[in-house]
Structure 1
Amino acid sequence: MQTENLLQQIAFIKEIDKLKYIQRKTKLFNSDRHENDAEHSWHLAMMTIVLAEHSDKPIDVLKVVKMVLIHDIVEIDAGDTFIYDTIKNHTNTDEELLAAQRIFGLLPEEQAKEFIAIWQEFEDGKTDEAKFAKTMDRFEPLLQNTSNNGGTWKEFNVPYQKVYDKKVAIKDGSATIWEYAENLINESVEKGILKK
């Protein structure tokens, strides 16, 4: 027997397929192909599982995995905002909240509330889980850009200080990963793929 819950969950599953069509500015490692939001979220989930031991604080890994899988679903409606965009601020917007309510609202009520709460927790960035999730979110494109000879930094003429200011948030979740990331940023300047 098909339950109302099952039908709502399947509607949600069909809706989030659209995430595969949301193109990001960053490109796959050593590639000219743009990454999509679904690939980005999957990669962050795997990074979370692999790198969890480097979190500065004990974290609920499953909760972080949920966060990174959920965090960009709002972009189905709101679109992807480039982190270095000079016109549209890369912060939580009313547009994203409306998107969260619509898309997660397809789910049965209890699940919808849970997903919206997890998405909001990520956006607020205050809990240890949210800090580590944001560490993953900022670290992955850094690895991509360094593998692509500067990638979006070069393409959009993003200066060192802007990159540094956005990436320093990595430190909030992991001093170890930040040390690695900071070295990569500095090496990128030395290699001439990031302008100081």
Structure 2
Amino acid sequence: MEEIKGIIDFMVEIEKLKDVERQTKPVGLSRYENSAEHSWHVCLSALMLKDFSNEQVDIVRVMKMLLIHDLGEIEAGDTIIYSSETDENKQLERTGIQQLFQLLPLTTREEYINLWEDFEEGSSPEARFAKAIDRVPPLLHNIHGEGHSWKKHNISKEKVFAFNGERISKGSNALWQEVKSRLNEAVETGVLK
């Protein structure tokens, strides 16, 4: 059956996400995280934090977004968020997503492209919450890793607070308050400057 063939081909292609190295190291590890690990981590985090969303969300839709939101990195690679919000990088990701989803049956392809677009635009309650959750693990990696990627990329505390405060608070004010408290501790201890 042609649809199953396409889905299996898709499954093979998304294996490449395991080889996309991210800019942060998992807590307690010296190696860099890969994007597939990040996808798992944010999905489980969303499930645990769903009751703290600013708005009621369909958690299954949130998790679908989080599972597919970084698939464009197979084509574009991962860049640090503070410099990756460029038109060129977004177009590379969009092209990668469109090529990858061509392997899927039409209805699934349309659903996943719509989910990816919604995440990118941050227009629904689910997208706002997913984008909030997506920001937390890299912050925790830095807080618990002596600010390794902040220092490597010369990211200031002002940039960390401004960028993350806006994105996280749109999805969960309660989550932002807790993360902000931890970032303030990182400033006090010299991890974030």
- TM-score (normalised: structure 1): 0.94
Q: Which amino acid aligns with 1:159?
A: S
**2:159 paired residue among 155, 158, 162:** 162
2:69 to 65, 68, 71: 71
Aligned counterpart, 2:128: 131
Question: Which residue among 83, 89, 93 is the counterpart of 2:85?
Answer: 89
After superposition, the C-alpha distances for 1:5-59 in whole angstroms (9 at most, x for unaligned) are 1000000000000000000011011221100000000000000111111111100
- Higher-helix-fraction structure: 2
- The reply on whether 1:178 has 2:191 as its aligned counterpart is no
Give, in whole Å, the separation in 1 of the partners of 2:71 and 2:178. Answer: 29
Instruction: Tell me the CA shift for residue 90 of structure 1.
Output: 4.9
Q: 69-78 or 146-155: which moved more? A: 146-155
Distance 1:160 1:51 in 2: 25
* TM-score, normalisation: structure 2: 0.95
For these two proteins, the number of residue pairs brought into alignment is 191
Q: 2:106 corresponds to which letter in structure 1?
A: E
Residues 1-196 of structure 1 mapped to structure 2, 5 A cutoff: 3-85=1-83, 88-90=84-86, 93-168=90-165, 169-195=167-193
CA displacement 1:152-183 (0-9 Å, x = unmatched): 11222211011112211100011110000111
Structure 1 stretch displaced more, 156-165 or 58-67: 156-165
Name the CA distance, whole Å, in 1 between partners of 2:144 and 2:38.
16
The CA distance in 2 between the partners of 1:83 and 1:165, in whole Å, is 13
Where in structure 1 are there 5+ consecutive unaligned residues? none
CA RMSD of superposed structures (Å)? 1.2
Work out whether residues 82 and 90 of structure 1, in 8 Å CA contact, stay in contact via their aligned partners in 2.
no
* % identity of equivalent residues: 41
**2:54 is paired with a residue of what secondary structure?**
coil
Q: Could you tell me how far apart the structure 2 residues matched to 1:48 and 1:90 are?
A: 26
- Structure 2 CA distance, aligned partners of 1:39 and 1:166? 23
The structure where strand makes up a greater share of residues is 1
Q: Deviations over 1:53-108 (max 9, x none)?
A: 111110000000000000000110111121123xx535662222111110011111
- Find the aligned partners of 1:7 and 1:94 in 2 and give their Cα distance: 28
Helix, strand or coil at the partner of 2:22? strand
**Helix, strand or coil for the counterpart of 2:80?**
coil
Q: 4+ residue runs of structure 1 moved beyond 3 angstroms?
A: 88-92
The answer as to whether partners of 1:135 and 1:174 remain within 8 angstroms in 2 is: yes
Unaligned runs of 5+ in 2: none
Residue 93 of structure 1: SS of its match in structure 2? helix
